[in-house]
Amino acid sequence: MDASRAFDHESDQDGHSDAPRARSSDSIGILVDIAGSGGLAILDRARILALSGHSDTLVAHSGSVGSQVKLRVGSSWLIATIRSLKLIGEDGARISALLDFLGEGDEEQLTGKLCRFRRGVTRYPVPGCEIHPVTSADLNQVYAADGRATIGIGTVYPTSDIPASLYIDAMLGKHFALLGSTGTGKSTAAALILHRICALAPQGHIVMIDPHGEYAAAFGTNGALYDVSNLQMPYWLMNFEEHCEVFLTSEGSARQVDADILARCLLMAKAKNRLAQEVPKLTVDAPIPYLLSDLTNIITNEMGRMDKATDTAPYLRLKGKIDEIKADPRYAFMFSGMLVGDTMANFMSRIFRLPGDGKPISIIDVSGVPSEITSVVVAVLSRMVFDFAIWSRGSAQHPILLVCEEAHRYIPNERNADRSAVGRILSRIAKEGRKYGVSLGLITQRPSDLAEGVLSQCGTILSMRLNNDRDQAYVRGAMPEGARGFLDALPALRNRECIICGEGVATPIRVAFDTLDEDKRPASDDPVFSELWSRTGGEEGVIAETIRRWRTQGR
């Protein structure tokens, strides 16, 4: 219904169009139109201005975009948020407001205050219902923990004393995503959330993929840190698909020929291990240790057979690539000859923090991994988390949180798709992980570059400022209807502020994050050009040391 016509309908029959007169002292307007998810209200501009100096910050912000209001429905209070405002009428005394309904709470008998808030609407108001401002006491009830496990992350905007918390079980049980453009404080927000989770569950199991080496500085005291110097991830943990990504260099029909040869030779190499004798039906995907030298010898022997179906080119390609990787020191963290023992149990114990020893988070710094196999390393780690959860069913459950920074690099949309193993396994975790106790946390600055459907699998979305129109539209499409009014504020959010909606919060909420101690922040600060460019001296030493590291590919 058009705002002015709706108000005219509520006006006196003699045609007067005065602003709605409040029937109670704190009413700021009336509801004139209603639909399933929201309604249209006419607000009294003079009354809103009169409240602007109120001592309660929330009451003072009444009638502004993004603020909450309440409507009495029987013995309950219905909470709504203001999505948009428009001045109507020639006298400027009336404001039309679009409302999104959030949830409802009971009215306390003695005080008339809101209590026992729950999401959703069971009884709708009727046109003519009065609109009241929400108070700090009301909002404290809305965001009360109700006995559920929570982590505090900041304060509810625009207040400075109402704590903002996340329901940790609901957030992790259905995945979460942290979004935000570069420079909005996304990495610090991620560190804050993970620190609070670690404090709540010091015996937890968290694996974080860190592509830029930022988070080691933040978790030096309560996390286990791994990079190419100490990761020691055995190559034989790869499944066949991941072997193909590393060892195959051909394309088209030739790639299928190479894959068939690799599968046959790989199975023969694994069969030589005594562990294979304990497996009733050995498959090429089974994580059985084998020697790379055995694999190359088998390829050579197969190449010399007279009854082979192809020429020698595929065998030479395979053998050449394997020899190249064995000789390259950059791959030593994974393809070293020292990693042929059955260290699978020890590796999983270290990476999955089983037991955690008070350090529940593993930071996997992949910044030093050669770029051509980074996605394979992430694929192996992600798949091992998922496979461990599947094959441990029936045993004591150990849920694992997998946090993936720069998620758009590993789960690209169809426009940027590279059909990699990591994209497939992370997409599968997003769709099926919660059934097996695997939680996925995605952190990205480009949500529109994520594979379609992955963001919608995240039950809780924390969105910081997004500057790109396509990213904003993508996030709006993944948010529930009641959060749309909050999302209009995405381009206007300050640094260290975010909109949170979904399972992890009682209602959509705008949050100002807590300040994180300096020693708990990731190493992601922007350089201060004006200061750094004013310094001089020592450049020769910097260049010499940089060249040394560059040539040795080390730190």
Task: Give the pLDDT confidence of 328-383 residue by residue, as tens digits.
Answer: 888 989 998 777 778 889 999 999 988 878 889 999 999 889 888 999 999 999 99
Mapped onto helix, strand or coil, the DSSP state of residue 268 is helix
Mean pLDDT of 205-228: 91
Is the model's pLDDT at 19 over the cut of 50? Answer: no
pLDDT in the model for residue 5: 43
**pLDDT band at 452, cuts 50/70/90?**
confident
Q: Which residues contact 313 (CB under 8 A, 6 or more apart)?
A: none
Amino acid at 260: D
Q: Which of 354, 380, 346 minimizes the C-alpha distance to 236?
A: 380
Q: What percent of the chain has pLDDT over 90?
A: 35
Is the model's pLDDT at 482 over the cut of 90? Answer: no
Classify residue 134 by its DSSP letter. P
* Alpha helices (H) along 420-538: 421-432, 469-478, 484-487, 529-532
Mean pLDDT of 27-42: 89
C-alpha torsion 458→462→467→471, nearest 10: 10
Q: Quick one: how many helices (H) and strands (E) in the chain?
A: 19, 18
Is the model's pLDDT at 469 over the cut of 90? Answer: no
Query: Which fold is adopted by the domain 164-234+341-525?
Result: Rossmann fold (3.40.50)
Q: Which of 160, 172, 119, 108 minimizes the C-alpha distance to 143?
A: 119
Is the model's pLDDT at 226 over the cut of 90? Answer: yes
pLDDT in the model for residue 112: 64
Of the CATH numbers 2.170.150, 3.10.450, 2.30.130, 2.30.30, which one belongs to the domain with range 29-143? 2.30.130
Mean pLDDT of 112-136: 84
| pLDDT tens string 269-303 | 999 988 888 888 889 999 999 999 999 999 998 88
Which of 14-23, 204-213, 248-257 shows the lowest mean pLDDT across its residues? 14-23
| pLDDT tens string 127-164 | 999 999 988 888 887 777 677 889 999 998 888 888 88
pLDDT in the model for residue 378: 94
pLDDT in the model for residue 481: 59
**pLDDT band at 123, cuts 50/70/90?**
confident
Which of 82-91, 155-164, 420-429, 518-527 shows the lowest mean pLDDT across its residues? 518-527
**Long-range Cβ contacts of 9-16 (<8 Å, 24+ apart):** 10/42, 10/127, 10/128
Amino acid at 531: E
Question: Which of 16-25, 100-109, 313-322, 478-487: highest mean pLDDT?
Answer: 313-322
Question: Could you give phi then psi for residue 534, rounded to 5 degrees?
Answer: -90, -5
Is the model's pLDDT at 21 over the cut of 80? Answer: no
Domain range list for the chain: 29-143, 164-234+341-525, 237-332
> Do 135 and 79 contact (CB within 8 A), yes or no?
no
Average pLDDT, the chain: 85
